[in-house]
Amino acid sequence: MNTTPVRWKRAVVTGGAGFVGSHLCTALLDRGTRVVCVDDYSTGSPENVAHLARRDGFALLKADVCEPFEVEGPVDLVLHFASPASPADYLRLPLHTLDTGSLGTRNVLALAREHQARLVLASTSEVYGDPLRHPQPEDYWGNVNPVGPRSVYDEAKRFAEALTTADIAVRGTNAAIVRLFNTYGPRMRARDGRAVPTFIRQALAGEPLTVTGDGSQTRSLTYVDDTVRGVLALAGSDLAGPVNIGNPAELTMTELARLVIRLTGSSSELRFIERPTDDPAVRRPDITLARGKLQWDPLTDPEEGLRRTITWFRANA
């Protein structure tokens, strides 16, 4: 197993103007890697990478990965992070989400092969569905409803994993699959529908925090800086994956809501609303593989990560 830190000369980040993608662009530039950020702005925003526009080595390419696209010049790393990721987005863009996981992944694999570049596919803990095994290791096949409202995202990612695995086996593509658990941090959209930005927005406005169901369902929250470190550690290895990257620290939605209220100093109360269909009851990664093969561990505890995120939301309200 190669664990030597890698410095790439030039990287392509699809979905690079999105939440996680923009942080990856920044981290790569900080390492001295030139970056081509590819995005169609269906859920991302040029504002997320505006601070990078004048940095040497940064280029922004507006393109939909569902259509074949070209990147001129050498490329030695491709990070495929293009996809609607929040329920609000993939329920609004169901066909685009499926196309991005299928056609988009096929096009990005072709790009990586053309340049003989290392590829990392961003998959998700959603491939485990509403899990019957807890915590979730990479060899768990999941419990996914293939025709439920969340299926457009779950199955798009499951197909992308299958396509990438087949491409590795048949064509020898140098690729890896990372399964990201709930990532949060600065640059999340306040109304993207996910729990952390929703709770912070409501708490800062003094509104009731809307907790779905009875609030006992759990999530494992990973601060974005830790996610980026994990993705780049996998990219720099010779591991194909899939590899879970997530924080095993598990919180119920009620605990998360009350923590946000305390950290914001809000007077908000909780309001319980109907729980969405197929909403997972539990979510917690088994990160034995990432710890053993990548020497990766999350370093940011949820309270500290939420403090940083709240500070960003206050400044950018």
- Cα diameter, the chain: 58
Region 188-203: mean pLDDT is 95
Q: Are 161 and 169 in contact (CB under 8 A)?
A: no
Cis? peptide before 242, omega within 30° of 0:
yes
Q: What are the beta bridge partners of residue 272?
A: 211
Active-site positions? 153
**Residues 247, 313, 64, 71, CA torsion sign:** negative
Q: What is the pLDDT of residue 5?
A: 62
Region 141-155: mean pLDDT is 94
Q: Which domains does the chain have, with CATH numbers?
A: 10-183+222-248+279-298 (3.40.50.720)
Q: Identify the band that residue 6 occupies on the pLDDT scale cut at 50, 70 and 90.
A: confident
> pLDDT tens digit string along 44-92?
999 999 999 999 999 999 999 999 999 999 999 999 999 999 989 999 9
- Outline where DSSP puts E strands in the chain: 10-14, 34-39, 58-62, 77-80, 118-124, 175-180, 183-184, 209-212, 218-220, 222-223, 243-245, 250-252, 270-273
